[in-house]
Amino acid sequence: MVKFVAFFPETAESKMSSPILGNRVIHPNQKSWGLGKVLNVGTDNIDVFFVGIGAKRLAKSFVQLEIVEGPTAKHRLLDNLTEASQIDNATYLTTDKAIERFLAIHPDGFSAPTYLKNEREASVRAHQFCVQLLGEDEISALLAERRYQDICDRARHVESLTNLLTKSEKTAFYSALETAVQQKTFSEALATLLYGSDSEEVRFKDFIRALHLLGINRWPYATLFGFIRFPQERVFIKPTMIQSVAKALCWRINYKADPNWRSYTAVLRLYNHLRTSLAEEGLLCRDMIDVQSFIWSIGQK
């Protein structure tokens, strides 16, 4: 909910402004609130989302906001802010609060032995085996020999090393690769997803079409192997968790239940935003595995 806030009138020397919907602004007397985006302008009030505190309803007769333009008006969160109707200050997490929540679980950050063992080890090991068993030359040779079952067996082994799928998701995945036709469909689609010459968007769409034919067109399957093979640049999506975290961070992810490129790229922007924000605070992520762990930690209730 948006709270009503009143302030003493600004002095005559204050910068005059008449913000409109979408303007980037700052409150001259509340610099700690940071940059804001105008969400709504009414007759008496103006609603603004500030990155440092969330949404505020300000009395127009008591406050004069300063409009910010040019490069300083850009902000990763405000550029990807969710719709005004979906902003809830009761759940909004600033970057500082998100980091506090992470450090409450992992006081020594991303380098602690317990973090490495409990959060990174499984995914890193799966990545290493994926490079070995499903590298570009390896998978190309297997395809040339039509050894589709071997590719699927290797994919299942790589998946088994992770803790990313639930038991029911594992069962559905294994069942989808039982027949020779299913194995061929998955093998060719996986090779194209990981190493095809088309754009990543085209390859992603081709892969989810193959998953649809296999009856497992869901986010975990659509993103797991790209994430494990290329942890520096691709992301893994668990629907419930990513929706919860995106809501808390007020980040627009355009979520749809069926995997799609628009939602994927929105989540990728969120991962990159968090990775950059953490680096700015001195917490350096080695890859998206660390970002994934951060997301899981701040998504815990």
Residue with tokens 């968007």: 201
Q: Is residue 85 part of a domain?
A: no
9's CB contacts (< 8 A; 6+ apart) are: 61, 62
Q: Is residue 212 part of a domain?
A: yes
Q: Is residue 86 part of a domain?
A: no
Residues 72 and 129 in one domain: no
Predicted pLDDT at 9: 42
Q: pTM of the full predicted structure?
A: 0.90
Q: Which helix (H) or strand (E) holds 54?
A: strand 54-59
Q: Which domain holds residue 36?
A: 3-79
Predicted pLDDT at 4: 40
Q: Is residue 9 part of a domain?
A: yes
pLDDT in tens, 37-60: 999 999 999 999 999 999 999 998
Residues 132 and 73 in one domain: no
Residues 118 and 235 in one domain: yes
Residues 29 and 64 in one domain: yes
Residues 215 and 253 in one domain: yes
Residues 183 and 112 in one domain: yes
Predicted pLDDT at 2: 45
Residues 75 and 110 in one domain: no
Identify the sign of the CA torsion 101, 283, 293, 120: negative
Residues 53 and 130 in one domain: no
Residues 137 and 66 in one domain: no
Going by their DSSP bridges, the two strands 3-5 and 36-41 should be labelled as: unpaired
Nearest to 201 by CA among 263, 155, 253: 263
Predicted pLDDT at 301: 57
Helices (H) and strands (E) in the chain, counts: 13, 6
Domain count, the chain: 2
Residue 263: both structure tokens together: 């939602």
Residue 223: both structure tokens together: 């993103």
Q: Is residue 190 part of a domain?
A: yes
Residue ranges of the chain with per-residue pLDDT less than 50: 1-16
Predicted pLDDT at 225: 98
Q: In the listed set 79, 109, 130, which residue is the last one of a domain according to the structure? A: 79
Residues 300 and 209 in one domain: yes
CATH number at residue 43: 2.30.30.140
Predicted pLDDT at 170: 97
Residues 19 and 104 in one domain: no
Q: In the listed set 79, 104, 124, which residue is the last one of a domain according to the structure? A: 79
**Residue 31 to residue 239: CA distance in whole angstroms:** 36
Residues 49 and 112 in one domain: no
